[in-house]
Amino acid sequence: LNEKLQVIKADAFSNSGISSLRIPNSIVEIGYPVAARTSLVYAGEDATFTLDPGSERLILDESGALYELQGDGMKLLCLFDSEAKRFEAAEGTTEVAPGALLNHAALEEVVLPEGVRIIGAAACKGCRALRRIAIPGGVVEMGAEALMDTALESLHIPASLEKIGENGKRQPTLRKVTVAQGNARYEEKNGMLLEKWSNGKARVVVNTDSRECVRIPEEVVAIAPYAFNGDRNIRELYLS
């Protein structure tokens, strides 16, 4: 490719016969997917998709993950290897971009390092095999639909988390949510994840309990979209 090339948009080489792609370090943007349904190898020693060293803006690691260099760390932009079953973000990652792991159907586990503060909207949406992800202790924000359409059965909310974005629907596999002691914004109560407000009131974010009789806590004045959607175990619902 041209040594002064700066931008490659998504699907630029998809459905082509390309078998090797070396990207110059002048590049500042690579769309995802860049070469879907080709024979390119994105990860490991035999990778045929490479980025020349020396880029002032982007880093492509051995797992096929693309990062943007920032002042205080790195932002995970995407994972090119769509067949990965386990992904561990690089040390120094401080942010996961919106849609960074979107629709990685084979992905079963995601490991994020301490230091991550933001998980963007739809970051892991559509990772239907995803069963394990640990939210690092320093995360302050998790965007809308970040974990939607996954196979997660449990989730631990760290004490640092201040904001969880809205979901487009309830996550049916999620049966347990725990909240770290000291979290000022969220708490688990009666099998529900509650968002606490400064006036002492609260909102139900999601119900994860399988009990047939559900009692909404007295402090609740609002229920988030899809909080109980699709929960067929409920037979009785008591509103305080």
Instruction: Report d(CA 27, CA 222) in Å as an integer.
Output: 47
Q: How far is CA 160 from the centre of its chain?
A: 17
For the chain, the straight-line distance linking the first and the last C-alpha, in angstroms and rounded, comes to 65
The per-residue pLDDT for range 133-178, each reduced to its tens digit, is: 989 999 999 999 999 999 999 999 999 999 999 887 777 888 899 9
* Mean pLDDT confidence for 114-143: 96
C-alpha closest to that of 217 among 184, 240, 187, 191? 240
Contact call for residues 188 and 178 (beta carbons, < 8 A) = yes
pLDDT for residue 4 is more than 80: yes
pLDDT for residue 71 is more than 90: no
Residue owning tokens 């047939």: 212
Instruction: Report d(CA 141, CA 115) in Å as an integer.
Output: 13
Contact call for residues 167 and 225 (beta carbons, < 8 A) = yes
The per-residue pLDDT for range 77-109, each reduced to its tens digit, is: 999 999 999 999 999 999 999 999 999 999 999
The per-residue pLDDT for range 21-38, each reduced to its tens digit, is: 999 999 999 999 999 999
